[in-house]
């Protein structure tokens, strides 16, 4: 990660058939002070282009005249640099896509790319990392930048009739093929400002007993030191902010075993809330939901029955049925946890996240994979509730 104070000064972007664009770049080897200086300049150029043009996700070092195997990337969670990237795997399946390039600003070109690739690269701390099985839009991006490192311009890969088109058709041909992600990085960033501070910046520290037991440096993030004693307050609070911003006055209804209902029973919002819970739900949690202002209805012997009753009420009354993993702002609120982890420690190898319905893992993974893609995300399910593992 490169904070803004380390960006340096931007460089001009080479265009046309400049010599540096047509030559194969040299391997870097160890990331030394000179390589870091070049990386800062590359990042500064990418950020400058983004601020001037409003788009641009990556740039390769040859595009600013630096013949080193280096790519700066910013997917929306802050810039990072891939040193000596190489493809370690590529899918057999390919696709034709419309490509754009800062160095060929007047044209877009139809080229063939592998639908997915995996890459190995060295990070700023001289650690060799892997970024595995990229989704199609990122696989396309990295293949384009890797071509730059080999001195290959997209115009030389044009395939099919009318494969080169004017840049004026970008929105129609390129933009239309890049659908927005369901979870917004801007939403996660906004959530980090809007969520009640009582839910944010939970303690993050090394667990000596776990580190000793597992033979690795194990960090833990304690999400139980807040009024609802779990992480769910993050997503619930941010969702309420988004509902308020929409001007909605609908009653909310949800199903909960306790923790989610407590998070929703937010006296700050002044909004009417009905929580359906199973008749077998924890009595203390039922009491807390009521104390926090929720209207609690017990229905059925398990969570599924309570959820069915909640949906029936929403259908009958027009109330807003809120499901924990279904509303994007809930996952975006949970994603603030990933943002805090990376701000505290960007050299992690892996993050283990509890996995229930996926709202937490989805939000955390969305930020982590945009900020530090070499970090592995591992979802851990309870042995008695393995449905997500089985479905995956």
Exactly one of 145, 189, 327, 340 is catalytic; name it. Answer: 145
Supply the DSSP symbol for 229. Answer: S
* Contact call for residues 312 and 319 (beta carbons, < 8 A): no
Report DSSP letters for 196-214, one per residue. Answer: -GGGSS--EEE-HHHHHHH
Helix (H) or strand (E) run with residue 173 in it: helix 170-173
Return the structure tokens found at 187. Answer: 């939403």
Q: How far apart are CA 180 and CA 161, in angstroms?
A: 29
Whole-number Cα distances in Å, 376 to 20, 128, 205 = 35, 13, 19
Return the structure tokens found at 230. Answer: 């779990």
Q: How far apart are CA 59 and CA 46, in angstroms?
A: 6
Residues paired with residue 71 on neighbouring β-strands, in sequence order? 60, 82
Return the structure tokens found at 335. Answer: 């994603």
Establish whether 145 is a catalytic residue.
yes
Q: Is the dihedral of CA 12, 14, 20, 23 positive or negative?
A: positive
Q: Could you tell me how many helices (H) and strands (E) the chain has, helices first?
A: 12, 16
* Contact call for residues 232 and 260 (beta carbons, < 8 A): yes
How many other CB atoms are there within 10 angstroms of residue 191's CB atom? Answer: 29
Supply the DSSP symbol for 133. Answer: S
Please report, to the nearest 10 degrees, the dihedral formed by the alpha carbons of residues 27, 29, 31, 33 taken in order.
Answer: -80
Report DSSP letters for 136-168, one per residue. Answer: HHHHHHHHHHHHHHTT--GGGG--STT-EEEGG
Q: Which residues are catalytic?
A: 145
């Amino acid at each position: 990660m490169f904070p803004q104070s380390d960006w340096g000064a931007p460089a001009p972007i080479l265009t046309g058939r400049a010599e540096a664009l047509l030559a194969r770049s040299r391997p870097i080897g160890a990331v030394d002070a000179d390589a870091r200086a070049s990386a800062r300049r590359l990042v500064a150029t990418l950020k400058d282009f983004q601020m001037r043009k409003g788009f641009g996700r990556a740039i390769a070092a040859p595009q600013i005249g630096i013949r080193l195997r280096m790519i700066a990337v910013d997917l929306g969670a802050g810039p990072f640099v891939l040193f000596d990237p190489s493809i370690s795997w590529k899918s057999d399946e390919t696709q034709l896509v419309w490509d754009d390039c800062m160095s060929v600003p007047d044209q877009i070109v139809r080229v063939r790319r592998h639908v997915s690739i995996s890459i190995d690269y060295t990070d700023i701390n001289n650690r060799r990392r892997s970024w595995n099985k990229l989704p199609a839009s990122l696989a396309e991006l990295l293949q384009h930048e890797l071509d730059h490192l080999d001195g290959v311009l997209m115009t030389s890969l044009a395939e099919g009739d009318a494969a080169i088109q004017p840049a004026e058709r970008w929105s129609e041909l390129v933009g239309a093929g890049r659908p927005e992600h369901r979870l917004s990085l801007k939403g996660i960033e906004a959530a980090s400002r809007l969520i009640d501070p009582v839910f944010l910046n939970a303690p993050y520290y090394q667990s000596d007993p776990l580190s000793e037991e597992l033979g690795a440096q194990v960090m833990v993030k304690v999400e139980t030191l807040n009024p609802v004693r779990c992480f769910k307050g993050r997503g619930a609070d941010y969702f309420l902010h988004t509902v308020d911003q929409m001007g909605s006055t609908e009653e909310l209804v949800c199903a909960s075993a306790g923790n989610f209902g407590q998070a929703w029973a937010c006296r700050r919002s002044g909004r009417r809330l009905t929580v359906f819970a199973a008749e077998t739900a924890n009595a203390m949690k039922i009491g807390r939901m009521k104390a926090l202002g929720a209207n609690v209805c017990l229905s059925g012997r398990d969570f599924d029955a309570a959820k069915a009753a909640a949906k029936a009420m929403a259908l009958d009354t027009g109330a807003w049925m809120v499901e924990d993993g279904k509303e994007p702002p809930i996952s975006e609120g949970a994603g603030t946890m990933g943002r805090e982890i990376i701000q505290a420690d960007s050299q992690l190898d892996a993050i283990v996240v509890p996995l229930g319905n996926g709202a937490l893992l989805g939000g955390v993974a969305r930020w982590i994979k945009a900020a530090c893609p070499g970090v592995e995300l591992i979802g851990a399910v309870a042995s008695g509730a393995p449905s997500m593992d089985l479905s995956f």
